[in-house]
Amino acid sequence: MKYIPTIGIECHVQLCTKTKLFSEVDNDARGKEPNSCVSPVDYALPGMLPRLNGEAIKFAIRAGRAMNCEINASSRFDRKHYFYPDSPKGYQITQFYHPIIGEGYVELPSGTRVRIEHAHLEGDAGKLTHFKDYSLVDLNRVDTPLIEIVSMPDIHSAKDVHDYCKELWRLMCHAGVTNGDLYNGNMRFDVNISVAKEGAKELGTRAEIKNLNSFRSAERAAEFEIKRQTKLLEAGEKVKQETRGWDDTTGKTTAQRSKEEAKDYRYMPEPDIPPINLTSEFIDAEIAKLPLMPMDYRRKFNGVITDEILEVLLDYPSLMIKLNEIEDKHVKIISNLFTSVLLAEEKSAKYLNDLPDTRDLNELAEMNEKKELSSTATKEVFLRLFDPQMKGRGTKQIAKELGLIQENDLEALEKIVDIVLAKPETQKAQADFKAGEEKVIGFLVGQVMKESHGKANPSSVQEILRKKLK
């Protein structure tokens, strides 16, 4: 008997707004002292009131659209109550009853569609660090805006768990709503898994694996959990509805909290924030700011760029936006340069936010095509285009300064060839070639290249040499 897994995923995305969701404090606490990005509102002094960040609303519209979702013209905030030191107010402000983002779908590279049930805005919690007999509270992360994306149970394999998580990450990065730094928890995944016999009418009992912070651990956790549940069912046992944690080192999930222990969050409409009513003009203006999404690029560059290269480049939204501006005939060479040269560079991460002018890249491709630049010279000039010292001088100027432009003027080349052929040290090679020793042509070409300080186009040189030594 075959068992089929059914999987739904909840994903929390931290938005990279300038300020927090409900206060004017800096939302970017990277490298800052604990509790230094906290306003009296975040700290929940008595009498403090949330002040909704309009930028977060705009980000939500863009994120929603990126997932082909309805944007609800009217939405509201609610309070979700629980006591814990990471929640200074004693409740989280979220959207329980009327979320801003409605139904939609995410299309995986394989073509599989995963439907989105809804997505909503909410504030993040603070961070606790536990020690032997005390714990420390850092509220820097309190009320960093989050979008929680809830998928329908449309996933049926661990691989699709990976692909869905990755595609969501790409969509959010392309929509420009998150820094997408998984290592620092910018996106966190909760995976709900149940297993049932093939053809069964009802789904099995599900377990939720919380707080996975990479595609790989989401995939591995799903794989483990599918096996665990299948084994239980095969042995005639029952799966318990519970929350489980994932341990990346042991590669196992372990029970954390059962359904009976689940909290009652006592949801209530947030009375301090009036309902959000968006006009269609406002929504459209925000959607208009969206660049192309991964699926658009796949369709557009199908047959131009190989799938391997495209899937690599799709991880870098700024490169895709740039590539989209490049002249069609140059897309192939520029995409190759992006993957084989730029991304191979150690400094590439630094360069990604400050790309060269599209005009310079087009010109580079043009020069390469006209053979004004050898392929080695093309790579060298390409990298210089990113160099803050060289930038803005223009491709031609840089190539000239580096002396990398190839000599294609046949008359000039002939003169250089003549000089080389007149030299005593080439006489033996000339004789050998004439005697039928084909490979000495390489030596002669090398001599000409040397004489031309590397500017000569080697294939032209060879042509001239062959003519002269006939």
Partner 1 sequence: MKIANKKVTAERLVRDALEKAKHFEDYHIFTFLNEEGALKKAREIDKRIARGEKVGRLAGVPYALKDNFLSPEGETTASAHILQGFNSPVTATSVAKLEAEGAIMIGRTNLDAFAHGSSTENSYFGPTLNSHDKQRVAGGSSGGSAVAVALDIVEFATGTDTGGSVRQPASFNGIYGLKPTYGTISRYGVVAMASSTDCIGFFTKTPEDMDLLMSIASGQDPKDMTTLPDYYNTEASAESGDSRLAPSRPSSRGSGAHSAPVVAYGLESPNSCARVGIIKDFDNDSVHPEIRKALKNKVELLKSKGHEIVELEMPALKYGLAAYYILVPAELCSNLSRHDGVRYGFRSEKSKDLDALYENTRNEGFMPENKRRIMIGNFVLSSGFYDAYFLKAAKARTLIVKEYEKAFSKVDFILTPVSPNPAFKLGEKVDDPVAMYLEDVMSVSLNLAGVAGLAIPAGETKEGLPLGLQLVGPRRSDKRLIEFSKELI
Chain contacts with partner 1 (rule: CB under 8 A): 40, 43-52, 79, 81, 83, 85, 88-91, 137, 264-268, 271-274
Measured from the CB atom, the residue of 40 and 446 that comes closer to partner 1 is: 40
Measured from the CB atom, the residue of 38 and 417 that comes closer to partner 1 is: 38
Looking at residue 153, the DSSP 8-state letter turns out to be S
Mention every residue, 6+ apart, whose C-beta is less than 8 A from residue 15: 27, 56, 59, 60, 63, 144, 145, 146, 147, 177, 178
Alpha carbon of 26 to those of 30, 188, 401: distances in Å?
10, 21, 44
Measured from the CB atom, the residue of 137 and 341 that comes closer to partner 1 is: 137
Of residues 100, 101, 82, 102, the one with CA closest to residue 92? 82
Measured from the CB atom, the residue of 273 and 405 that comes closer to partner 1 is: 273
Least Cβ distance, residue 79 to partner 1 (angstroms): 6
Measured from the CB atom, the residue of 88 and 104 that comes closer to partner 1 is: 88
In terms of Cβ atoms closer than 10 Å to its own Cβ (0-12, 13-18, 19+), residue 182 is: middle
Least Cβ distance, residue 59 to partner 1 (angstroms): 19
Asked if residue 120 lies in contact with residue 94, where contact means CB atoms within 8 angstroms, the answer is: yes
Least Cβ distance, residue 313 to partner 1 (angstroms): 43
- Reading the block at residue 301, the tokens are 């560059």
Pairing mode, strands 91-94 and 113-123? unpaired
Strands (E), 133-241: 135-138, 145-151, 187-197, 207-212
Least Cβ distance, residue 270 to partner 1 (angstroms): 8
Instruction: Provide the 3-class DSSP secondary structure of residue 200.
Output: coil
Instruction: Tell the residue number behind the tokens 């042991």, with chain if given.
Output: 250
Measured from the CB atom, the residue of 81 and 127 that comes closer to partner 1 is: 81
Least Cβ distance, residue 91 to partner 1 (angstroms): 6
- Reading the block at residue 43, the tokens are 């700290």
Measured from the CB atom, the residue of 255 and 268 that comes closer to partner 1 is: 268
Least Cβ distance, residue 133 to partner 1 (angstroms): 10
- Rg of the chain over all Cα atoms, to the nearest angstrom: 30
Least Cβ distance, residue 200 to partner 1 (angstroms): 29
Asked if residue 156 lies in contact with residue 4, where contact means CB atoms within 8 angstroms, the answer is: yes
Instruction: Tell the residue number behind the tokens 């046949």, with chain if given.
Output: 410
Measured from the CB atom, the residue of 105 and 267 that comes closer to partner 1 is: 267
Measured from the CB atom, the residue of 21 and 449 that comes closer to partner 1 is: 21
Least Cβ distance, residue 23 to partner 1 (angstroms): 10
Distance CA 68, CA 70 (A): 7
Distance CA 14, CA 226 (A): 29
Distance CA 185, CA 29 (A): 13
Q: For the packed helices 215-234 and 158-175, what is the interaxial angle rounded to 10 degrees?
A: 150
- Reading the block at residue 374, the tokens are 């050898």
Least Cβ distance, residue 259 to partner 1 (angstroms): 13
Least Cβ distance, residue 17 to partner 1 (angstroms): 17
Measured from the CB atom, the residue of 40 and 251 that comes closer to partner 1 is: 40
